[in-house]
Amino acid sequence: MTFQKKLTTVQRKHRSLLCVGLDTDRQLLPSHLPRTADAVLEFNRAIIEATSDLACAYKLNLAFYEALGNDGWRVTDETLRSIPPSIITIGDGKRGDLGNTAEQYAQALYYEFGFDAVTVHPYMGFDSVEPFIRDADRCAFVLALTSNEGSKDFQRLTVGGRPLYEKVVQTVKKWNKKRNLGLVVGATHPDELKPIRALVPAMPLLIPGVGKQGGDLKLAVRYGCDKDGELAVINASRSILYASSTKNYATAARKEAAKLRTLMQRYQEQFFS
């Protein structure tokens, strides 16, 4: 099954655009849990069990697992094994290096861990991205316009009369021969999200920045989805993971995830029915 087919299938089955970001910081675990790798795994499993029928994807920010040292890759692997296979998994490592190095990253993330998708940056050009898009069943989400404050430092520079992020979008569109490329566009940039979607009407968009970062969820749905109200993967991390610091954290996470999904559904009905 191609990546896009898997994504649209789970979005329709779960009626969801929600991606739960498993950016699990052991220092922010509920107070009854120890600050250990095994506690991170226990926490992740509880969050997944509580939310898996509400989500179309889970995104693991690899920095939080690398910070666990030797145990980090074990926790990554066992977390992925806890996610139902019908749900998209995204390895958020923002990789991008020389071709032979990129091949090793792709091998590790796709075939050792089994992620469906990864995030990559385009600064080093096509040969640094190509290893991630050889298989139509896997997707590379390329950084275009990110949600952080510093995105303006380079991504908005004018190149040939157009902002650099727009050049990235146009170039990635040309690379998308197997329909397995996507773009990362922050929900904190709704004015730019609309024209970006117009440039790539049939490409999946990974949209971080709702929740704690202040992105506009309504506009993320309106401008991030394709014409059918799909192909937007809207990520929320901290607002779900840390909805409660008590022993009822998984119940609180489910409540927050359900609230977000319901809002997204409402906006889908408003704009795409």
Following DSSP, what letter does each residue of 26-48 receive, concatenated?
Answer: GGGS-TTS-SSHHHHHHHHHHHH
**What beta strand segments (E) does 110-153 contain?**
117-120, 139-145
Contact 99, 141 (CB under 8 A): no
**CA separation for the pair 205, 218 (Å, rounded):** 15
Q: What region does 210 belong to: left with phi over 0, alpha with psi -120 to 50, or beta?
A: beta
Catalytic residues: 94
Q: SS3 string of 149-171?
A: HHHHHCCCCEECCEEHHHHHHHH
Residue 72 in contact with residue 38, Cβ under 8 Å? no
Which tokens sit at 74? 């074990």
Which distant-in-sequence residues (6+ apart) come within 8 Å of 258 by Cβ?
A: 54
Distances (CA, A) of 124 to 101, 150, 162, 171: 12, 19, 20, 13
Q: How far apart are CA 54 and CA 48, in angstroms?
A: 10
- Distance between CA atoms of residues 263 and 16, nearest Å: 10
> Which amino acid, one-letter code, is at 120?
V
